[in-house]
Amino acid sequence: MNKTLSAADVQASDVRPLPVLEETLRYLLSLLDSTEHSFEAVHDFIFDRTRSIRQDLSMQNLANERVIHLYEEISHLCVYSVDFIILTLKWVLIQVKFHVIARQRLQSCSTTSISSMHHLNMEQLAKTLTTLYDIYDANRKPDYIYQNEAEFRSLYVLLHLNPSSGVMGEPMALWFRKLTSVLIKSKEMCFVRNLLRLYRMGNYKNFISALASEATYLQYCTSEPHIREMRSLAVQCINNVCYKLQPYPLLRLSQNLMMKEVDVESLCHECGLETCTDSDGCIVLPTKQPNLRRPEEGFKGYDLIGFEMKRLL
Amino acid sequence: MAYVSMGEANRLITEYLNRFCDSVSYQDSSTLCHLLSISSNSASLLSLADALNVFQDASSLIRQSDKFSEHEEILAHLLPSLQSYRVGNLVEAYIAFEKFASAFVQEFRNWESAWALEALYVVCYEVRVLAEMADKELTSNGKLKAAGSLLMKVFGVLACKGPKRLGALYVTCQLFKTYFKLGTVNLCRSVIRSIETARIFDFEEFPTRDKVAYMYYTGRLEVFNENFSAADTKLSYALQYCDPKKERNIRMILKYLIPVKLSIGIIPTYELLRNHKLHEYINIVQALRKGDLRLLRHALDEHEDRFLRSGVYLVLEKLELQVYQRLMKKIYINQKLSDPARAHQLKLEVIAKALRWLGMDMDLVEVKCIMMMLIHKNLVKGYLANKSKVVVLSKQDPFPKLCGKPVGS
């Protein structure tokens, strides 16, 4: 990894000019799709490099006076500072994308240090989103929202779906107070508000199917842990609520949860429940089992079946 | 602005300075209060301001007399603040007032007794209000943030062992108002912790008016965090001890208390809602009484903006499950009338039909999901016979009331 530094990344101590920083960012983002190295290595590298870029940017912010003096004779001074805002915005957007995608990729990693990496990543995502919103707010024009603003605001809702997840932030009710009418009525915000309602109601079937049919890639990545939560809830519910003499067919459940039947079986076992085969050869879940437990805080997400990945890319 | 002659201006300013110094010397808090309420737009202050704008050099008057110059630090900023306020320069008015307030608080600290507590309240109030006005002019919130810092310092001064500590709750409430306006509600936490855990404070000792305001704000925080039992306790306290003549305050408390009560199964009368002009809740209550989901959704849509701004939207949306419970109860009661032997069996198909009648098209899978949730959260007692597509209700108390506890607890 160390040998493949781009020409842009040559002297870390010097403050890099804006066009160079842009190029570096593009390069870093392309690394996310690299299959050469394990994701952990990529993650660390990007994390490190993005932090140094951030420092460079903030240094440039303070040194803006100097930069302005440099370009004093040239008349596109104003254009330069506007470019700076746009670049900062682009930069933060890339950071957010990175953290969201990282979260999803981490789920398929197998090292033991995953949970701390994951937690760190979530913290960074939450902080980065907050920075992003501050930039949006600081450069607010009345009744205007930036091109991607609605989607990135919606990620906040998805991140805080579960109030006991420990992700930092203010209560959802307070957060909504600050949104403008235009944002609230946007397609993306309406979508996640509906998801929030379904989540809180425990309507696992509609939650999962709505997500599968309408979410963008970033929204999907951010919601993955909640899909898992809803699936666990479904299993828990069925066990507690259904008639003891009518074991629940896993095939039916797998359709509602958009999972492979074998994955449903695995999930049941994770919840401490036993499955068996009935007289017709179907796998069923006997209900009212006393050994129900919360599945471990692992990151093994089961695939979403019947979900068009192509739609998102 | 009224025309004032030089001589008249001189007289007005000197009179004010005398009153100020006398009120301090004789520890006359109520007079001092009137002299500091810049935003009250009282006739005497307005004419004083006019006088200042004519005279222009009030500081020379202050320095001329020993009596006045003793309070030069304070007066040097108070008078310019009033002057700026009068000509509509609200940013300058705030900046000067902030400096005055700092100097005043320093003096206050040195005064041994708590005689000037009421005057300090006025200062705190003015700091906040003038900051809000200044921010409007600047279309930012920098001044209100600065006001918040100053108020925290005042709180620090009052967090002491003597009688001055009784003022701490008033300042706390000013801080709450500031933080709520700024949207930095998380900053309330540190003051709350001080009030509730510091040994120097005894909550019961504080004036009732301040206790009511405190419980109102902390109650609202509990609503935002959906801690319904705590919210109920605090907001009910505020309602109980609120001055019955303060209709506006009562209405504000009820605005938050009603969603809380609804969440724990206590429904207000339509009369209460109408008496306090809380019409936005009428349809919600009706939806709960009738099990009408369509009406609930409609009510939420109709007042979406208002509910979102006050922060109760999510709480009201959550009532959906209770509305479902009511609907199931109605179906059950209907069945009891027509076929009592089999009333306790609710066919999923029948439920789906009832929902369709309400304009809600749901397939059986979704209906099943909802029924499972109702049973899981103990809003319905019974079990789901999945193969037979039937919910079998318990013979005893199939629709338990919430009785003051939130759903699913």
CB of B115 within 8 Å of a chain A CB? The answer is no
CB of B180 within 8 Å of a chain A CB? The answer is no
Residue B346, helix vs strand vs coil? strand
Check CB contact under 8 Å for A174 and B386: no
CB of B305 within 8 Å of a chain A CB? The answer is yes
Residue B384, helix vs strand vs coil? strand
- List the single residue in A177, A241, A246 with the smallest CB-CB distance to B375: A241
Nearest chain B Cα distance for residue A175, angstroms: 9
State the pLDDT at residue B330.
95
CB of A200 within 8 Å of a chain B CB? The answer is yes
State the pLDDT at residue B56.
82
Mean pLDDT of chain A: 74
Check CB contact under 8 Å for B317 and A200: yes
Rounded to the nearest 10°, the torsion over CA B181, B187, B192, B197 is -170
Check CB contact under 8 Å for B183 and A177: yes
What is d(CA B360, CA B292) in angstroms, rounded to the nearest whole number?
A: 11
The model's pLDDT over A234-258, given as tens digits with 9 standing for 90+, comes to: 999 999 999 988 999 999 999 999 9
ipTM (interface pTM): 0.86
Q: Does A43 have pLDDT greater than 70?
A: no
State the pLDDT at residue A164.
78
Nearest CA in chain A to B140: A138
CB of A140 within 8 Å of a chain B CB? The answer is no
* Residue located via tokens 């912790």: B193
Check CB contact under 8 Å for B384 and A197: no
Q: Does A32 have pLDDT greater than 90?
A: no
CB of B392 within 8 Å of a chain A CB? The answer is yes
Least confident of A43-52, A81-90, A214-223, B117-126: A81-90
For residue B333, the number of C-alpha atoms closer than 13 Å in the C-beta half-sphere is 9
Q: Does A70 have pLDDT greater than 80?
A: no
State the pLDDT at residue A12.
41
The model's pLDDT over B225-271, given as tens digits with 9 standing for 90+, comes to: 999 999 999 999 999 999 999 999 999 999 999 999 999 999 999 99
Least confident of A169-183, B103-117, B371-385: A169-183
Length of chain B: 409
State the pLDDT at residue A11.
40
pLDDT band at A285 (very low <50, low <70, confident <90, very high): very high
CB of A202 within 8 Å of a chain B CB? The answer is yes
Least confident of A88-97, A291-300, B55-64, B89-98: A88-97
- List the single residue in B186, B370, B383 with the smallest CB-CB distance to A170: B186
Nearest CA in chain A to B362: A206
State the pLDDT at residue A169.
72
Check CB contact under 8 Å for B224 and A184: no
Q: Write out chain A residues lying below 8 Å of B187, CB-based.
A: none
CB of A134 within 8 Å of a chain B CB? The answer is no
State the pLDDT at residue A87.
56
CB of A183 within 8 Å of a chain B CB? The answer is no
Q: Does A8 have pLDDT greater than 60?
A: no
CB of B337 within 8 Å of a chain A CB? The answer is no
Average pLDDT over residues A148-163: 87
B304 versus A151: which is more confidently predicted?
A: B304
State the pLDDT at residue A98.
73
For residue B377, report the phi and psi dihedrals to the nearest 5 degrees: -95, 10
Q: Write out chain B residues lying below 8 Å of A243, CB-based.
A: 383-388, 392
Average pLDDT over residues A24-52: 63
* Residue located via tokens 């959260």: B377
CB of B372 within 8 Å of a chain A CB? The answer is yes
State the pLDDT at residue B55.
86
Q: Does A69 have pLDDT greater than 90?
A: no
CB of A66 within 8 Å of a chain B CB? The answer is no
Average pLDDT over residues A33-50: 61
Of the options 1.10.3720.10, 1.10.10.10, 2.40.10.220, 2.40.50.100, the CATH number for the domain spanning B320-393:
1.10.10.10
Interface mutation vs chain B, best among A241, A257, A258, most B CBs within 10 Å: A241
CB of B309 within 8 Å of a chain A CB? The answer is yes
Inter-chain Cβ pairs, chain A and chain B, closer than 8 A: 91
Q: Write out chain A residues lying below 8 Å of B315, CB-based.
A: 173
Helix, strand, coil abundance in chain B, percent, nearest 5: 75, 5, 25
Contact B29, B115 (CB under 8 A): yes
CB of A141 within 8 Å of a chain B CB? The answer is no
Q: Write out chain A residues lying below 8 Å of B365, CB-based.
A: 205, 256
Q: Is the pTM of this model over 0.95?
A: no
Contact A200, A155 (CB under 8 A): no
State the pLDDT at residue A313.
52
Check CB contact under 8 Å for A174 and B384: no
CB of B317 within 8 Å of a chain A CB? The answer is yes
Contact A103, A222 (CB under 8 A): yes
Q: Where in chain B is the domain with CATH 1.10.10.10?
A: 320-393
Q: Does A76 have pLDDT greater than 50?
A: no
A32 versus A292: which is more confidently predicted?
A: A292
Q: Write out chain A residues lying below 8 Å of B385, CB-based.
A: 242-243, 246
State the pLDDT at residue A14.
58
Average pLDDT over residues A113-125: 64
Check CB contact under 8 Å for B183 and A248: no
pLDDT band at B313 (very low <50, low <70, confident <90, very high): very high
Give me B277's structure tokens: 């002009």
A8 versus A135: which is more confidently predicted?
A: A135
Nearest CA in chain B to A235: B372
* Residue located via tokens 């405190």: B214
For residues B327-338, b (16+ Cβ closer than 10 Å) or e, as one string? bbbebbeebeee
State the pLDDT at residue A84.
47
Check CB contact under 8 Å for B311 and A240: no
State the pLDDT at residue A6.
40
Q: Does A165 have pLDDT greater than 60?
A: yes
Check CB contact under 8 Å for B320 and A197: yes
Q: Does A37 have pLDDT greater than 80?
A: no
State the pLDDT at residue A308.
66
What is d(CA A135, CA A129) in angstroms, rounded to the nearest whole number?
A: 10
The model's pLDDT over B174-231, given as tens digits with 9 standing for 90+, comes to: 999 999 999 888 899 999 999 999 888 999 999 999 999 999 999 999 999 999 999 9
Nearest chain A Cα distance for residue B307, angstroms: 9
Check CB contact under 8 Å for B226 and A171: yes
Average pLDDT over residues A211-222: 86
What is d(CA B237, CA B239) in angstroms, rounded to the nearest whole number?
A: 5
